[in-house]
Amino acid sequence: MTVHQELRTGSVLAPQTNQTSITQVFRYSAATWNTHRIHYDKEFAIKEGYPDVLVQSHLHGAFLTKYCTDWSGRDAHLMDLSLRVRRFAVAGESLTIVGTVSAVRAGGEGRALVDLALVETRGSDQEICVEGSATIDLPLTWLADGAWS
């Protein structure tokens, strides 16, 4: 496992970009039983005032979850995730997530808790679509000496 020597409050994590598609948004609606037509019917979405079918709020949440678990790995546990969708994104849009460490503190025996502030932006205009936060429980061996500052 990699030791992250620069993991401290204020550390900015590597970005992760998710390219959405109409097929993905349609399938996500089907898998989650989301029958709202703005997620699969372009004409209906336009009639409702949107430029195209919309990415579901829960899909934004799934992207944030994936970001956290991809970054933290198998020995970690995502303890808490919250998000607020501020702007819509349409299918076909690229969405980039960046996390910033807001705290690193002691967890249970041999563990540390890392709090992240999360931001997801649209590729077309860099507007923020989602803001969120997460708490991840990591093994202490994951952290380098001095990571508590």
pLDDT of residue 147: 53
Residues 6+ apart with CB under 8 A from 125: none
DSSP codes joined into one string, 25-91: HHHHHHHTT---GGGT-HHHHHHTT-SSPBPPHHHHHHHHHHHHHHHH-TT-EEEEEEEEE-S--BT
Structure-block tokens of residue 52: 């195209």
DSSP assignment letter at 5:
T
pLDDT of residue 142: 72
> Is pLDDT at 6 greater than 80 in this prediction?
no
Domain 63-142, CATH homologous superfamily name and number: Hotdog Thioesterase (3.10.129.10)
The tens digit of pLDDT for each residue in 93-127 reads: 999 999 999 999 988 898 999 999 999 999 999 99
Residues 104 and 133: their CA atoms lie apart, in Å, by 13
**Where do the domains of the chain lie?**
63-142
Q: Which residue has the tokens 């709202």?
A: 36
